[in-house]
Amino acid sequence: MRSASDDAGTWRDIAVCTQVHPDLFFPVKGDGTSRREDLRAAQAVCAGCPVWRQCLSEALAVGERWGVWGGVNMEAIRTAQRRQRVKALLR
Within 10 angstroms of residue 46's Cβ, the number of other Cβ atoms is 20
Model pLDDT, residue 67: 93
Model pLDDT, residue 32: 62
Q: Is 72 left (phi over 0), alpha (psi -120 to 50) or beta?
A: beta
- Give pLDDT tens digits along the chain (91 positions): 344 444 555 899 999 999 999 999 998 766 666 788 889 999 999 999 999 999 999 999 998 989 999 999 998 888 888 888 888 888 7
Model pLDDT, residue 3: 46
Residue 34, CA distances (Å) to 6, 28, 40, 85 in order: 37, 9, 10, 30
What residues form DSSP beta bridges with 68?
73
